Structure 1
Amino acid sequence: MARRNEEVEALLREYADLVAITGGDAFKARAYEKAARAIGGYPADVSALDAEGLREIPNVGRSIAEKVAEYLRTGRMAVVEERRAMIPAGVRELISIPALGPKKALRLYEDLHISSVDELAAAIEADALADLKGFGEKTQENIRHGIELLRRAGARVPLPSALDTAEEIVAELSGVTGCRRCAYAGSLRRMRETVGDLDVLVAAERSARFMEALCELPVTAEVVARGTKKTSVRTGKGLQVDLRVVPPESWGAAMQYFTGSKAHNIRTRTIAVHLGLKLSEYGLFDAESGESVASRTEDEVYARLGLPWIPPTLREDRGEIEAALRGELPEVVTERDVRGDLHTHTDLTDGLASLEAMVEAAAERGYAYYAVTDHAPDLYMQRMTEEKILAQRERVRELDGTRRRMRLLHGTELNIGPEGEVDWPAEFLAGFDLCVASLHSHFDLSREAMTRRLVRACENPYVDVIGHPTTRLIGRRPGVDADWDEVFAACARTGTALEVNSQPDRLDLRDEDILRAKAYGVKFAVNTDAHAVPHLGQLRYGVATAQRGWLTRDDVVNTWPLTRLRRFLRRPGRS
């Protein structure tokens, strides 16, 4: 079941946006953003805390703690409702557009009376923003693209939210008398980055109890349709859930049928037809006699089609059928394969937990090694200095091997400047065990300049990993424009790994980019970019994205033994 932390975080972020959009104190908005982030990353469920307990969370002062306690107690936060009433709902909708912040949204409302996404799209098409300061051609193009992203996302739900809901429903239905099997399928089982609706399957002799149970679950806000074979409901967050109850002997066929993408399923049904068979959610049948030839397990169904079992994350018709027929289906990387995390933060910069707390949590995950990579000085708001990072290094060395013999690596996350330069001179960088380098600003450079910037970073002999390479934020910010084929070729040439960032609002690189980069021979690092203890658990999303990009253990450097990883990290000039 989802913690209350996430909904409190979302509410505080909304309030910060509302303060900004109504011209409120920028410091106040920033304070609420920090508190939102701290609560979202807090290990314990905040619903168990009172106002005093909430004040123990970093960046949560008395005033914010009292407001959060009010929300947890009453389900409302008065200051949020007051701010919501100050502006039209459509203006609040504007700030959800990638590339359009609160200040620009407010200017559009005050100067042009634009109060909805549709009105803004029409104004851009009519060239009505041409004379508005700060809305030049490049800005308008970015906003236009942002509107397209927003519309494309539609009612799709982020992967973690969909997974929380699905796991809660599966847990509840699994406890209903008569349940033989229960699981989610569809795009969620394929671990797509956003989910349109949930497919939940139950194997049981009778369906009535399960249909009734789904309709009565706390998560259910509306019953869309109710039947004996299928019932559809909608959750309070607008996510549609389709429940199907199938006979136990049809479980494998149903899971195969309702997991694959439409294109994948067309391929498997076509193979069935060529074999004189018919494939449905109830089984694989002889087309003439109607006799069932496979149905109980997915392995059985695929085997009868002449295929090995295909991992759900690959079932997108991206060549997995052909690879399976050739016996070349990859053994994709799993979460168990990952030996350590190579991109994490502490409260020395913008993390929420101490070095000791993060190291202890990593050790509890059974890692063989773990890297701490706090921000470097060019990200000015973090106020990093050589003295601070060297003091941290000394403490890392003291802790090395003390937690379940886990080895610690001292690294840093460098900032890739506009020309591809990074923080700190070469002689100082030589002292780190590894360096992650990431884009944190200047996202609007031209394609040529951005490509040159990234290639130069790859060519730096002290840069081991390019972190969250495209900088995208799903549904909020598009990735930077670069010639990615040239960047991938540079990574392969220089031996620089590309990160698969596990933060669920990033998942960067995305699966399509991973497939392209892999073809160049690039190596990857699946990292969490954790800023708090709970974030370490987000590795599952990065691994799933890596699977969707067909990555194996050999492709992912942090599945390697430490000795092999250290050889990979060794660069010319480094001791």
Structure 2
Amino acid sequence: MARANDQVEAMLQEYADLIAIRGGEAFKARAYEKAARAVGGHPQDVATLDAEGLREIPGVGRSVADKILEYLRTGRMTVVDEARAAVPAGVRELIAIPGLGPRKAMVLYEELGITSVDQLLEAVHQERLRDLKGFGERTEDNILHGISLLQKAGEGRILLGAAMDAAEQLVAELSAVRGCIRCTYAGSLRRMRETIGDIDILVAARRPAPFMEALTSLPYVAEVIAHGEKKTSVRTATGLQVDLRVLPPASWGAGLQYFTGSRAHNIRTRELAVRQGLKLSEYGLFDAESGESITSETEESVYERLGLPWIPPALREDRGEIAAGLRGELPDLLEDKDIRGDLHTHTDLTDGLAPLEDMVAAAAARGYAYYAVTDHAPDLSMQRMTSEKILAQRERVRELDGRHRRMRLLHGTELNIGPDGSLDWPDEFLADFDLCVASVHSHFNQSRQDLTHRLIRACENPHVAVIGHPTTRRIGKRPGIDADFDAVFEACARTGTALEINAHPERLDLCDEDILRAKRYGVKFAVNSDAHATTHLPYMRYGVGTARRGWLTADDVINAWPLTRLRRFLAGKAA
């Protein structure tokens, strides 16, 4: 079910990792990394391109294009097979540990003969890594944490974005089956959890058999786990489990409420039903004594009969939503349509994949009222940014301003928060940007005190409007930094600095629990895509979903405001 682009990206990235493991030229590894990212972010399906079309993708030359064509034709890349053969399988297993990296994995193999995660765990516990150059006690702690993340990822959970892509394809396939009255996804995906275990698909139909047959016949289904009259479970070629349930049309609302969950929320609603002499199940709401059906066709009617308003799925986690509903105090949650612009995006001037003009056009096509370009500042030396380059970009941004559906453009930058909290450019230079986002990109292992000071100092800079991806986490790959975030939240509220909800499915940073904490301090938020390609702009939906899980309204989110109010916020920070 994965796009050909995603499969090719994974193969090219693996080749880049294998080059690095074997001590190959760094520039060659970086070239394949760049090509991998470019293919992954390319809007067109690479399976439809010929060699000439592939070479039009930034970073894809003749050699890379030939390898892509070989993969599309045979499902293999000869150079990757050869590189795999030259690297022990155990070393390839080690580089999957978040934060370890190919060079350290090779050192562990060459110096200690470690070829498995279990052997590495044993070596850490025996303190055998501390004598190796570049290793130490903190490295051991990081490795242990990385192994923990790897093991959790191995429990079969996938990122929200990948699960959504798969679920929407399944819903489209099953909706086309004759006799389908309704079809949707449910479970933790409907609640927009950051990772998903199994995908739950619900269908309302009078005859279940055609849908069970349709699911098991899909070309990407590799295994039928269970095949029944009411439920069928399959596993896709990528290892994803899909559970299909076909409900009687009259039970649709009760079934959707029940299978959306969460378990804790459902326990609360069933307890509420019991106190009213009722019984709630996936088939409906019934009188407990007589068994008479009371309601079941819509979720709204089920909640209403329990004395509740309809509770948005994102809130159904037993975090006070039942009590708030009974008091009539559920928030009017942020919606996709509330987002008026994107305040953190990149172009190919730094590490983006598309030129400014393409990014602006794609943003305008989304109907935004405003859009910010925030390429990296010079402290990330690999981006080779200069003041001359950023000022030239500003001129072009001003030329394009208002040309696409009257969308207004903001010229900004993503600053790097240095180890001491300093920023890339002096205040007098920053004063001329419309918007400054500041983010931590390195030195993640500083002390808690230093990391906290670093973030607070950035908040206190009068030109920093937003702290980008505040915890720096990459889900399943890198843990968040160990800072006193309550102190950071307090500083943001005090200084009028917004916190980002980075919508990239690998980040979703801040997460819902941090959002709930930060909101109690009175912090405002910015939901941004951090897009590095035109295909990344739609990630906004995942940021909105995370904001909804954090109980945010449109008033809490600065890029849900009209431009005049946003400009007052930005000007107030700099005042």
Establish whether TM, by shorter chain, passes 0.5: yes
Distance 1:6 1:116 in 2: 27
Distance 2:533 2:503 in 1: 13
After TM superposition, the structure 1 = structure 2 runs for residues 113-262 of structure 1, keeping only pairs within 5 Å, are 113-153=113-153, 154-262=155-263
Corresponding residue of 1:302? 303
Distance 2:574 2:434 in 1: 13
Write the deviation string for residues 284-315 of structure 1: whole angstroms up to 9, x where unpaired: 11111111111101101111111111111111
Q: Does 1:559 align with 2:560?
A: yes
Distance 2:289 2:186 in 1: 30
Corresponding residue of 1:15? 15
Asked if structure 1 preserves the Cα contact closer than 8 Å seen for 2:439 and 2:470, the reply is yes
Asked if structure 1 preserves the Cα contact closer than 8 Å seen for 2:497 and 2:573, the reply is no
Distance 1:401 1:488 in 2: 35
Distance 1:572 1:415 in 2: 19
Distance 2:396 2:17 in 1: 38
Corresponding residue of 1:5? 5
Q: Does 1:51 align with 2:56?
A: no
Distance 1:314 1:573 in 2: 35
Corresponding residue of 1:86? 86
What SS is found at the alignment partner of 2:35?
helix
Write the deviation string for residues 318-359 of structure 1: whole angstroms up to 9, x where unpaired: 111111111111111111100000011111111111111111
Identity of aligned residues (%): 74
Write the deviation string for residues 150-205 of structure 1: whole angstroms up to 9, x where unpaired: 11222111111111111111111111111111111011111111111111111111
Asked if structure 1 preserves the Cα contact closer than 8 Å seen for 2:279 and 2:288, the reply is yes
Corresponding residue of 2:428? 427
Corresponding residue of 1:510? 511
Q: Does 1:536 align with 2:537?
A: yes
| Shift in alpha-carbon separation, 1:181–1:123, aligned structure 2, 3 A | same
What SS is found at the alignment partner of 2:493?
helix
Corresponding residue of 1:67? 67
Unaligned stretches of 5+ in structure 2?
Answer: none
What SS is found at the alignment partner of 1:72?
helix
Distance 1:141 1:199 in 2: 37
Distance 2:428 2:88 in 1: 55
Corresponding residue of 2:292? 291
Asked if structure 2 preserves the Cα contact closer than 8 Å seen for 1:462 and 1:571, the reply is no
Shift of 1:371: 0.6
Q: Does 1:319 align with 2:338?
A: no
Distance 1:471 1:227 in 2: 44
Shift of 1:240: 0.7
Distance 1:152 1:326 in 2: 38
Write the deviation string for residues 69-111 of structure 1: whole angstroms up to 9, x where unpaired: 1111111111112222223333212111112000111111122
Distance 1:319 1:7 in 2: 42
Shift of 1:2: 4.7
| Shift in alpha-carbon separation, 1:573–1:59, aligned structure 2, 3 A | same
Asked if structure 1 preserves the Cα contact closer than 8 Å seen for 2:412 and 2:437, the reply is yes
Shift of 1:220: 0.6
Distance 1:463 1:573 in 2: 8
Corresponding residue of 1:40? 40
Corresponding residue of 1:520? 521
Q: Which moved more, 1:383-392 or 1:478-487?
A: 383-392
Shift of 1:573: 6.0
Write the deviation string for residues 388-437 of structure 1: whole angstroms up to 9, x where unpaired: 11111111111111111111111111110111110111111110111000
Corresponding residue of 1:108? 108
Write the deviation string for residues 507-529 of structure 1: whole angstroms up to 9, x where unpaired: 11111111100110000000011
Distance 1:453 1:538 in 2: 28
What SS is found at the alignment partner of 1:437?
strand
Distance 2:517 2:433 in 1: 30
What SS is found at the alignment partner of 2:397?
helix
Asked if structure 1 preserves the Cα contact closer than 8 Å seen for 2:206 and 2:248, the reply is yes
Distance 1:318 1:345 in 2: 36
Shift of 1:133: 2.2
Write the deviation string for residues 205-232 of structure 1: whole angstroms up to 9, x where unpaired: 1111111111110121100111101111
Asked if structure 1 preserves the Cα contact closer than 8 Å seen for 2:333 and 2:553, the reply is yes
Asked if structure 2 preserves the Cα contact closer than 8 Å seen for 1:200 and 1:241, the reply is yes
TM-score when normalising by structure 1? 0.98
Distance 1:64 1:223 in 2: 37
TM-score when normalising by structure 2? 0.98
Shift of 1:131: 2.0
Distance 1:206 1:31 in 2: 54
Distance 2:429 2:55 in 1: 39
Distance 2:4 2:159 in 1: 17
Write the deviation string for residues 112-158 of structure 1: whole angstroms up to 9, x where unpaired: 22112222122212223232222200010011011111112221111
Corresponding residue of 2:330? 329
Corresponding residue of 2:444? 443
Distance 1:522 1:322 in 2: 24
Asked if structure 1 preserves the Cα contact closer than 8 Å seen for 2:496 and 2:573, the reply is no
Unaligned stretches of 5+ in structure 1?
Answer: none
Distance 1:10 1:159 in 2: 18
Write the deviation string for residues 418-459 of structure 1: whole angstroms up to 9, x where unpaired: 111101111111101110001111111100000000000000
The one-letter code sitting in structure 2 at the alignment partner of 1:339 is R
After TM superposition, the structure 1 = structure 2 runs for residues 446-461 of structure 1, keeping only pairs within 5 Å, are 446-461=447-462
Shift of 1:261: 1.1
Distance 1:390 1:16 in 2: 34
The one-letter code sitting in structure 1 at the alignment partner of 2:387 is E
Q: Which moved more, 1:398-407 or 1:110-119?
A: 110-119
| Shift in alpha-carbon separation, 1:573–1:533, aligned structure 2, 3 A | closer
Asked if structure 1 preserves the Cα contact closer than 8 Å seen for 2:209 and 2:229, the reply is yes
What SS is found at the alignment partner of 1:163?
helix
Distance 1:136 1:281 in 2: 54
Corresponding residue of 2:463? 462
Shift of 1:572: 6.6
Asked if structure 1 preserves the Cα contact closer than 8 Å seen for 2:501 and 2:510, the reply is yes
The one-letter code sitting in structure 1 at the alignment partner of 2:64 is I
The one-letter code sitting in structure 2 at the alignment partner of 1:510 is C
